[in-house]
Structure 1
Amino acid sequence: MFLELTATWDWRVHGFLDYQGYVHPIDTDTKVISTVFERLSSPVIRTIAKRSGYVVELANQTTYPDFTLSVSDPAGQVLHRIALDVKTTYASNRMSFTLGGYNSFLVRPTKNILHHYDTYSEHWVLGFIYAQNPAFREYDLDSMPGNGEIACPYRDVTLFIRRKHEITGLRAGSGNTKNIGSVMTRNPAEFQTVMGPFSHFSRGKQACDRYWAGYPHYCGLIGSPQELHDHPDFASYI
């Protein structure tokens, strides 16, 4: 439904508007652009939740996930809960995402997560991939830009929404940080259809959780999807 509601959207922004009517450019930093996409996505997510009877909760910057969607019975018992994380990267020869820490809620189910991990039925990723534009020209008070005079720092936005385990890979992301890494692709559109190593299990989420909760152990033993499939620890998930 998200893709249907935003099918005609242009995800570019001019910048931010101050009370004097001046438009200031947004920074080209990925974290800043990620915040823009999250802000633009928020009313769409809330509309989908409202139509489906879910309540939306937000987490702070260091807490998973970005959006929690829950539906409860009249007594307040949670019937279904969805985690939705917004992820952003720029187009390059080899693209991937970081999908959260593997030493947090997968190991301790209340660490860095809005609700207990076991209360979430589904985990989804809303991903944005964009091409970078040249940096904006700096200005002073004598050349303050107006509306339409600043180019958006990105273009050619590709987006997807996928179950998290479907695009999760076998190697950590972000260098030495303890982050789960996604699969890697060369074409942004491939994230809309690519099936990672855990998508080939009948219980893919459970296999993914076990692997990444034990990543320091498994990373030295499992180097390919076939080795993952053949490892006895994952036989029950096939």
Structure 2
Amino acid sequence: MAQAPKFSARLFHYQVATASSKSPASTRHIALHPSTQPDTCTRKGWAQNNMVTTAAASNKPFVALARSLPPRLQTFFARYPPSPPPAPAHAASSSSPAERTTATDTNKKATTAAQQQKQPLPATKKTLYQNDRPNPFEAWKNPKTGKWQNPVYSYRRQAELVKMAREYGVEELLPPTRKGTEFRLARRVTYGLRVKGTGVGQKIKGHKFERVADEKMEKKRDAVEGMYDMVAEWKRIGAYRWKKFPK
């Protein structure tokens, strides 16, 4: 079966304009179906179509991942989409003169497609929420009034979002927050446990019975171990002359 040609916007508008001046309805009907017309796209149009197709194919796993997230995370990422990673150095460099002067059109198309696949995805346009508050997890100072405004998401809601994102493996896509795992681990390494006496080589005062408990247990252990010797001594001295009664 022959493959249907691609859609050409320029040819489509031209055929619609031509068909509007003709009276037969069959001609107008045929002109309004661009899939039945031959493709006369230019090299630039072919490259644009190929770029869109490649981007759509590469974004399929990300779309499937986004649909698997809970609605709360989907709403958050729709308002505050994560920024794309920085572009590598080799991707930003232009093609060499030898590549621009290839012999045939086929080689030119293949070179153009390869260059477009190497190029990183363009930066996403900021949403209205991002324009108002770049980081919804941090306080923001109004430049006009000079007053500080609370974060859009409270610490409790931040912790809930971080917990859900950690379960689905997308915590790295969230903005920096004090409730994140990385921040908490760094703080624990810097300060350790903030409870006095719980560090290495530290002791707490405690109650008096807690402070002398070890000493008392040591005395009881020594008394139990020397019980046989004390019984033998009591038999040797006798009950009448025995003076080592407990207090």
TM range (shorter): under 0.3
State the TM-score, normalized to the length of structure 1. 0.25
Higher helix residue share = 2
Greater RCO (CA < 8 Å, at least 6 residues apart): 1
Higher strand residue share = 1
**Largest Rg, 1 or 2:** 2
